[in-house]
Structure 1
């Protein structure tokens, strides 16, 4: 996989320097999709930005892999529902999806509910945690089923972020590589 074709999709408020996404970006040269507003994200804006980044990758240079965390997972599903560029994506690693349908998040993330439940048009792996404060375990399993994702139970690892103590998260890289057919 070409490092510049692995797109990091952080969630709401971005991923800090100790987050496994940021560590992968620094160590492997993966490319973060920077959003113009991390604090008050608008679904349409984030979809448009992801589409722009994918379209700027030379189509003949190879496929794209998506590495999404939290709201980035919800973005992936929303983008896939409306994009004409989904054939460019080889697969997606979806980690700890956030749940913008929860009462306490609806007011903060108003444009993100309802969550798109359409099957993804590319292979995906969804990694969930049993004690994620932003998404109930059964909801993560339900999203995996809706999206056609292989589901991985990571046990009790919180929001699978910097506070989860994953470091460079070698296990996650292994799951990403299962999506790489090159």
Structure 2
């Protein structure tokens, strides 16, 4: 897959991704990458976040790969369940990193409006990357989300929430997962051809 023919849309989670977060690094180094901006990163509103994603994809004239983190992953699932079919067809795949279990006990109140987590299969290839010690989703819950969404799953050892607090600044090793996703996208395109 030629990266020039793809737009990478970066979807941060709750409170956004600061300049030294891996998503910001990827936005700077990936060709044709752009962040999906939200009006309020601290008090997320599900309808507003889903609408912002719809508008960001609709504004693109090239195919899109979504790169989501935490609450951004749940936003992708909500969006896919109600997306306009013409807009939905532009998405080639999604990398879903450290999805937030917004149904968990003790979930921060600003995130609870994203529950329940959609269980429908995503209509495009996806790869979910979780961790065996993520406070936002146990490995069992991450695997359950992957199963529901039809995502290939990878559970990393000791990676935490795959954010700044867990030491993931540039997360160069994460590109392996993006490349794997792109392989899944190409396999899917061959099957449909």
Q: Same fold (TM over 0.5)?
A: yes
What does residue 76 of structure 2 align with? 76
**8 Å contact from structure 1 (residues 124, 148) kept in 2:** yes
SS at match of 2:122: coil
Deviation at 1:151, TM superposition (A): 0.5
Q: TM-score, normalised by structure 1?
A: 0.92
What does residue 57 of structure 1 align with? 60
Deviation at 1:104, TM superposition (A): 2.1
1:161-172 correspondence runs (5 A): 161-172=163-174
The answer to whether structure 1 residue 37 and structure 2 residue 54 are counterparts is no
Unpaired runs of 5+ in structure 2? none
Q: Greater shift after overlay, 152-161 or 102-111?
A: 102-111
Unpaired runs of 5+ in structure 1? none
What does residue 103 of structure 2 align with? 101
The answer to whether structure 1 residue 128 and structure 2 residue 126 are counterparts is no
Cα distance in 2 between the residues matched to 1:87 and 1:4: 13
What does residue 28 of structure 1 align with? 30
Deviation at 1:153, TM superposition (A): 1.4
Deviation at 1:28, TM superposition (A): 2.2
Cα distance in 2 between the residues matched to 1:87 and 1:20: 27
**8 Å contact from structure 2 (residues 6, 63) kept in 1:** no
What does residue 150 of structure 1 align with? 152
C-alpha offsets along residues 17-74 of structure 1, whole Å, 9 cap, x if unaligned?
221101111222521101000001011100000000111111xxx3100000000000
Q: TM-score, normalised by structure 2?
A: 0.87
The answer to whether structure 1 residue 88 and structure 2 residue 112 are counterparts is no
Q: Greater shift after overlay, 160-169 or 137-146?
A: 160-169
SS at match of 2:68: strand
CA RMSD, Structure 1 to Structure 2 (Å):
1.7
**8 Å contact from structure 1 (residues 96, 135) kept in 2:** yes
